[in-house]
Chains A and B, each alone.
With several copies, the nearest count.
Chain A
Amino acid sequence: MNIELQLKVQDLNVRYAQAIDDNQLEAWPDFFTEDGRYRVTTAENFERGLPLGMIYATSRAMLRDRVRSLRDANVYEAQRYRHIVAPPLLTADEGRGARARTGFLVARIMHTGETTLFASGRYEDHVVLDDGVARFAEKVVILDSRLIDTLLAIPL
């Protein structure tokens, strides 16, 4: 077991989650490589081999577009997330990086104070070292539930 790598990937996950939970959306795309892929889907779609995602991006540029839309175009009530991310399970340790599977829970807190268990699932990640920095070459968010309460604005 490669403790160094294990903790590096965990640290990436923690910083990723903190950035979102602290509303640092502008920093979000930088957790991905330039051509990083990001997809949010459901376990049901994933297991049935259906390709549809709720969010599907194939580059850091597409992630930046989404952030700008969330900031300037879309209408949604003020809300924040609280991610709790389990320690990653490294499923393969490749030369330039690692495959990691990581369970998570996300609580959503509305401006009214209402707190709900908004999402649960796992990340299927491909983490690479991008000139020394650990980044996601691919992050697939597989939600346990097919059901989203109201809407999904802030990324998971």
Chain B
Amino acid sequence: MFMRKDAMAAISHQWPAEGLTRVPYWLYSDSDIYEEEQARIFRGPTWSFLCLEAELPGPNSYRRSSLGAMPVVVTRDKDGTLHGFENRCAHRGSLLVLNESGEARDIICVYHNWSYDLAGNLTGVAFRKGLAGKGGMPPHCRPEDHGPRKLRLETLSGLVFGTLSAAAPPLEQYLGAEIASRIRRVMRAPVKLLGGYSQTLPSNWKLYMENVKDTYHASLLHTFFTTFRLNRLSQKGGIVVSDSGGHHVSYSFAADSGGKEYEQAGMRAAQEGFGLEAPQLLEAVDEFGDGIGLQILSVFPTFVLQQTRNSLAVRRLVPQGLDQTELVWTCFGFTTDDEDMTERRLRQANLIGPAGYISMEDGAAPGFVQRAVTTAPDLLSVVEMGGASVASDDNRVTEAAVRGFWKAYRGLMGM
């Protein structure tokens, strides 16, 4: 009799014997996997980036964010303390907060006006005692026990992270010393918001995170990059992979070694460069004093901190299904910036975002994979640049950071 895929899938869902150098394609197209990730990763013992502290400017303010697909609210109460909780009412489960952000002393659910303080505590139940002695809620009923799940919050240099899990280690420990110091390097002063935008990615969330951690593609996919020699693998630089594998840093120095490996390799990316008519686009200053012109940093599962010359941004992902993900960008400078520096950051913002000279391809490439591998669920992706290593390295022709992602992923998914 006809043998059903369900059964077959259950059998085939074993990680390949090769380990981290191979990734099975069913991970991107199985809807059960997607649901599992929401529970085990995003609602599990991981820290998700929620927003910048600067996005909650004053007391009695709130903004929406998410823990994977789960909607959450981040608030700053009247004493300036930050709180985070699920955006779900204790009563019938309505969203508690509808606006992206705003100011409020308390939160009132629109559906039946149950009220909450900014810590997410249920403080009022409309007509709890009924009306004129009739109706209302029995004394033994404890709706407070069904309140929105509260997040543990920790902030690092103005970045707000949250988790639902008591089992998650403290944030600094989760990040490790090197990642934390690389975050501090960028977040060196109070943040001034410059603006934001989002992209809808036609792919599974993991494909975008792999792209971020994939130091191998940078100079090959982004040919503006290479053509204008803004960055070449031949430039000095390297990667850092955290012990957990889940976090990484990729960096390179601004100076160009002038290597000719590209021309020798004779690859598409090596077509001879032409000059910009308006080179001021790239005019940058070494604001961090260490000569590093590019630093891409990721924190498992879905956070990115980016320094592209003087253009700074944080990104976070919101999974919206098996093959759709929202990418949220927030660009910033520092309150200490003068006008020229702000203008510089805005000009260099031409390099990033959905229209960015060196980032537009990243919006599409994960989708190219999604479309090709859905009909190859039982085949394997090859992740063996730099061997099987998941360690830090002083070169970027490696997929160590991608393997690191899968190391952390497998641990959490129990695969």
Contacts and interface: CB of A to CB of B under 8 A. Distances in A.
Q: Per the CB under 8 Å rule, do A and B touch in the complex?
A: yes
Interface of A: 40-42, 44-45, 48, 50-59, 61-62, 64-66, 68-69, 72-78, 111-113, 146-153
Among A59, A62, A73, A76, residue most surrounded by chain B Cβ atoms (within 10 Å):
A73
Contact of B195 (A50, A151, A153): A50
B221 interface: yes
A148 B326 CA distance: 10
B227 A64 contact: no
Given A56-B349, A65-B278, A74-B223, A152 B354 contact: yes
19 contacts: A41-B195, A45-B196, A52-B196, A52-B349, A56-B349, A62-B277, A69-B357, A74-B361, A75-B364, A76-B361, A76-B364, A111-B100, A112-B100, A113-B198, A147-B200, A148-B197, A150-B199, A150-B354, A152-B354
Contact of B198 (A51, A61, A75, A148): A148
A51 B346 contact: yes
Given A68-B274, A75-B110, 17 more contacts: A42-B196, A44-B196, A48-B195, A56-B349, A66-B350, A69-B224, A73-B227, A74-B223, A74-B357, A77-B364, A147-B326, A148-B197, A148-B354, A148-B363, A150-B354, A151-B354, A151-B364
B195 A150 contact: no
A51 B342 contact: yes
Interface residues of B, number: 40
Question: 4 smallest A-B Cβ distances: which pairs?
Answer: A52-B195, A50-B195, A61-B277, A152-B355
A50 B198 CA distance: 15
Contact of A78 (B99, B200, B349, B354): B99
A51 B194 CA distance: 6
B182 interface: no
Contacts of B123: none
Nearest to B271: A72
Contact of A73 (B224, B354, B363): B224
B195 A148 contact: no
Given A53-B346, A74-B360, A146 B277 contact: no
A66 B356 CA distance: 10
A51 B271 contact: no
Contacts, number: 124
Contacts of A53: 195, 346, 349
Contact of A151 (B110, B193, B278, B363): B363
Interface string B307-322: 0000000000000000
A56 B347 contact: yes
B89 interface: no
Interface in B16-55: none
A52 B278 contact: no
Interface string B137-156: 00000000000000000000
Contacts of A48: 195
A154 to B, nearest CB: 10
B276 interface: yes
Contacts of A151: 199, 354-355, 360-361, 363-364
Interface string B181-209: 00000000000011111111110000000
Contacts of A77: 98, 364
A64 B348 CA distance: 17
A62 B278 contact: yes
B196 A152 contact: no
B354 A54 contact: yes
